[in-house]
Amino acid sequence: MKSDILKIANKKFKSRLIVGTGKYKNMLECSKAIKISGAEIVTVAVRRVNISDRSKPLLMDYIDPKKIMYLPNTAGCFTSKDALRTLRLAREIGGWKIVKLEVLGDKKNLFPDMIETLKSTEVLTREGFKVLVYCNDDPLMCKRLENAGASAIMPLAAPIGSGLGIQNKTNIKILRNQTKVPLIIDAGIGQASDAVQAMEMGCDAVLINTAIAKAKDPAMMAEAMKFAVRSGRKSFLSGRMKTNFIGSASTTKKGLI
Amino acid sequence: MNKKNKIKIVVNGRVLTVNLKFSLKNLLIKLKTPIDKVAIELNQEIVNKKKLSKIFLKNKDKIEIVHFIGGG
């Protein structure tokens, strides 16, 4: 089989699993899970440095940004203004141009505010950012994001951290058919079979945080997700059999005694 | 010490008292902040990290120093 490369904003990746770095018990658990997952991209958040207690471990000491690409996000931002400020700061930390935009509008369910998200995508694209956009699974809004220059469309499968799996398969299928940039399922994956499903539907990648971080054994779940994404991808690429509503024996009748 | 030679600044929401003619570079050194791992805002404007030693702090300046932490 020829190599199956994921291309996001002209960067090439072998792994189609993107992993979040939040919610782990500690940095060691986080770095172990990421290593086993084989992810080449991890999402990170921008926050104030603790100026009174510098004994706390730094993310960069555990996950080397030279080996794994940091994808700065705008977690916790509820306005376009906050999201833009956060990503401009992220770029300043290390020159990152590929970023994940997430502008929330609903404190309870963490659904994105699509109007603010679209506005931010337009501004960031003009400023030279390559924007991977967390969004609703609404095909019209996703098309608008793509037209505004989004480098990837990242619809939710279900609310962030819910672990409910893909709720609206029809919309994800429609999105698969219409989306020219990478389509990445973000949020709502709960177990390996959800990741398989996303990949079998032809999604280009999945982004997983809570399902790994909140498993009893995060490292084992990280490995399960790695295999799930590979398995689902191969299943998609192999071109599955046609479904039938009658049985079809696997063994020939010829030579039957 | 003469109070006239001191200014008050706000760093990440905390009030700090520093000397007059204190540069941003002095501040980061004082806070033992690894410059290559952070971004700095002075009164909501991003600071070019190459110019830290040339920027002198004024009374009531608001500074934000941020870095990457774990997130989804």
Question: Is B70 within 8 Å of chain A by CB?
Answer: yes
Question: Is A53 within 8 Å of chain B by CB?
Answer: no
Q: Does B39 sit within 8 Å of A58, measured CB to CB? A: no
CA distance A233 to B53: 52
A169 belongs to the catalytic site: no
pLDDT band for position A94 (50/70/90)?
Answer: confident
Percent of chain A with pLDDT over 70: 99
Question: Is B65 within 8 Å of chain A by CB?
Answer: yes
Judged against a pLDDT cut of 80, whether residue A132 lies above it is answered with yes
Tell me which of A100, A119, A130, A226 is the catalytic residue. A100
Judged against a pLDDT cut of 90, whether residue A55 lies above it is answered with no
> Which of A49, A54, A69, A208 to mutate against chain B (most B CBs within 10 Å)?
A49
Name every residue whose Cβ is closer than 8 Å to that of residue A255 and which is 6 or more positions away in sequence: none
Q: Strand A205-208 and strand A11-13: pairing?
A: unpaired
Q: Write down the pTM of the prediction.
A: 0.91
Residues A79-88 have pLDDT tens digits of 989 999 999 9
How many residues does the structure list for chain A? 257
Helix (H, G, I), strand (E, B) or coil at A230: helix
Show residues of chain A in contact with B14, CB under 8 Å. 51-52
Domain positions in chain A are 12-238
Instruction: Write out the H or E segment, with its range, that includes residue A32.
Output: helix A27-37
pLDDT band for position A61 (50/70/90)?
Answer: confident
Residues A133-184 have pLDDT tens digits of 999 999 999 999 999 999 999 999 999 999 999 999 999 999 999 999 999 9
Facing A75 at nearest CB: one of B32, B65, B72: B72
Task: Out of A6-10, A49-53, A191-195, pick the least confident.
Answer: A49-53
Instruction: Write out the H or E segment, with its range, that includes residue A115.
Output: helix A114-126
pLDDT band for position A10 (50/70/90)?
Answer: very high
Query: How confident is the model at residue A202, as a pLDDT?
Result: 97
DSSP state for residue A112 in the 8-state scheme: B
CATH number for the region A12-238 comes to 3.20.20.70
Percent of chain A with pLDDT over 90: 88
Show residues of chain B in contact with A92, CB under 8 Å. 39-40, 46, 49
Name every residue whose Cβ is closer than 8 Å to that of residue A150 and which is 6 or more positions away in sequence: A121, A125, A131, A132, A133, A181
- CATH code matching the domain that covers B3-66, chosen among 3.40.50.20, 2.130.10.10, 3.10.20.30, 3.40.50.300: 3.10.20.30
Helix (H, G, I), strand (E, B) or coil at A135: strand
Q: Is the dihedral of CA A214, A218, A222, A228 positive or negative?
A: negative
Q: Are A112 and A136 in contact (CB under 8 A)?
A: yes
Chain B residue whose CA is closest to A55: B32
Residues A34-43 have pLDDT tens digits of 999 999 999 9
Domain positions in chain B are 3-66
Judged against a pLDDT cut of 90, whether residue A123 lies above it is answered with yes
